[in-house]
Amino acid sequence: MIGVTILGSTGSIGISTLDVISRHREKYELIALTANKGVNRLLQQCLQWRPKFAVMADTDSAEVLRQSLSAEAPEVEVLAGVDGLQQVASLAETDYVMAAIVGAAGLIPTLAAAQAGKRVLLANKESLVMSGKLFMDAVHDHHAELLPIDSEHNAVFQCMPPDFQQGLESVGVTRILLTASGGPFRTTPLSELNDITPEQACAHPNWKMGRKISVDSATMMNKGLEVIEACWLFNTSPAHVQVVMHPQSVIHSLVEYADGSVLAQLGNPDMRTPIAHAMAWPKRIKSGVTRLDLFAVAQLDFEKPDLQRFPCLKLASEAMDVGGTATAILNAANEVAVEEFLQRRIRFTEIPKIVELTLSNVSSQQASSLDSVLAADKHARDYAINVVQELAA
């Protein structure tokens, strides 16, 4: 049996992971489930799955969960906080760690999984965006396996030759093509973006996602973060990663080779496909995903991204080019701005403005340690909050 810990089990990726596991209970044993503050959801998952451990990042929520489980499932040990998350990511009985905590909060436990030599199923792109080389060094030094869960990066991984880590040029790869749906506002008149509501921004046309990542998709910051992630995963630069607008979300990404070949991975927009791929790799297992009907799809469209409409895409590439803690600063400012938008305290069009101002005024430093990355994250958040207050004044 393969022991699995799910960091962020109550989110969309965690729920999809549980669905895949439910189809292969003879292969996988659930070791730990974790959540932030969603006690009721995690409680129900614990009662259904009976993991060995349950972790609430919020300590008060952990105590509520502990009391709730004491009568019905006393065998489930409840842990709390970052220490608890690190513990379950590093347990000897854990073989695979699904890293699905949203945002910067996922960095420390995901890094702990890498340092413990686990197979890390990376859905938390912020870990790589923030810590980059530190994270990749941990994977290498501790002989961990790193398999991408983002549909785009998983598609690229599937289209790459097995020895791509030697360097893309040496294996004949010339370009990575990351597809993007364009989100809900791909064709919305620019004059209307100022009045976009959180409900409109969270209504993604193709994917079922959480609110934060839905807003990131609407601004295309999510794609910018994915460009950064692709650079670290596949040891390349933004110059060799091209974003392609593809509104059907059927081609999940492509890899171009020196001989003119372009390999693509296709499938219905369902996260259970990359999850099942990464869990079974190098084998294949059933995921529960409906077969792709090309006759129903009928056509596939492609467009160049409009950087005037999606300035976050340019900001992300610029941060990657600057290097150091610039990408951590980018991510922190974006997390602050998105949350302020979801709380209706800023406009949709102010999200990239806050990110740009923070990048321009918070200096990038060498990302030489986890402490330096976390310090940059805090500095950027403080600055971004000040920008929000100034905008509101």
Q: CA quadruple 221, 223, 227, 228: dihedral positive or negative?
A: positive
Which residues lie across from 35 on neighbouring strands? 56
Does 207 have pLDDT greater than 70?
Answer: no
Q: What is the mean pLDDT of residues 136-141?
A: 96
Cβ atoms of 181 and 246 within 8 Å: the answer is yes
Cβ atoms of 4 and 95 within 8 Å: the answer is yes
Which residues lie across from 97 on neighbouring strands? 5, 120
pLDDT 10s digits, 54-77: 999 999 999 999 999 998 999 999
Q: What is the mean pLDDT of residues 209-233?
A: 92
Q: Give residue 391's pLDDT.
A: 83
Cβ atoms of 64 and 88 within 8 Å: the answer is no
Q: Give residue 104's pLDDT.
A: 86
Q: Give residue 95's pLDDT.
A: 98
Q: What value does the mean pLDDT of the chain take?
A: 95
Structure tokens at 354: 């806050």
Structure tokens at 133: 């080389």
Q: Give residue 109's pLDDT.
A: 97
- Which domains does the chain possess? 2-148 (3.40.50.720), 162-268+281-297 (no CATH), 323-392 (1.10.1740.10)
Q: Which residue has the higher pLDDT, 229 or 207?
A: 229
State what percent of residues in the chain have pLDDT above 70.
99
Q: Tokens 């994250």 belong to which residue?
A: 377
Q: What is the mean pLDDT of residues 289-298?
A: 96
Q: Give residue 204's pLDDT.
A: 75
> Which amino acid, residue 257?
Y
Q: Give residue 280's pLDDT.
A: 98
Does 176 have pLDDT greater than 70?
Answer: yes
Nearest to residue 69, comparing CAs of 91, 84, 52, 85? 52
Confidence of residue 148 (pLDDT cuts 50, 70, 90): very high
Does 208 have pLDDT greater than 90?
Answer: no
Q: What is the mean pLDDT of residues 41-45?
A: 97
> Which amino acid, residue 135?
F
Which residues lie across from 256 on neighbouring strands? 175, 262
Q: Three-class SS string for the chain?
A: CEEEEEECCCCHHHHHHHHHHHCCCCCEEEEEEEECCCHHHHHHHHHHHCCCEEEECCHHHHHHHHHHHHHHCCCCEEEEHHHHHHHHHHCCCCCEEEECCCCHHHHHHHHHHHHCCCEEEECCCHHHHHHCHHHHHHHHHCCCEEEECCHHHHHHHHHCCCCHHHCCHHHCEEEEEEEECCHHHCCCCHHHHHHCCHHHHCCCCCCCCCHHHHHHHHHCHHHHHHHHHHHHHCCCCHHHEEEEECCCCCEEEEEEECCCCEEEEECCCCCHHHHHHHHHCCCCCCCCCCCCCHHHHCCCCCECCCCCCCHHHHHHHHHHHHCCCHHHHHHHHHHHHHHHHHCCCCCCCHHHHHHHHHHHHCCCCCCCCHHHHHHHHHHHHHHHHHHHHHHHC
Does 115 have pLDDT greater than 70?
Answer: yes
- Residue 197 CA to residue 324 CA, distance in Å, equals 34
pLDDT 10s digits, 304-352: 999 999 999 999 999 999 999 999 999 999 999 999 999 999 999 999 9
Q: What's the Rg (C-alpha) of the chain? A: 20
- Residue 51 CA to residue 91 CA, distance in Å, equals 13
State what percent of residues in the chain have pLDDT above 90.
91
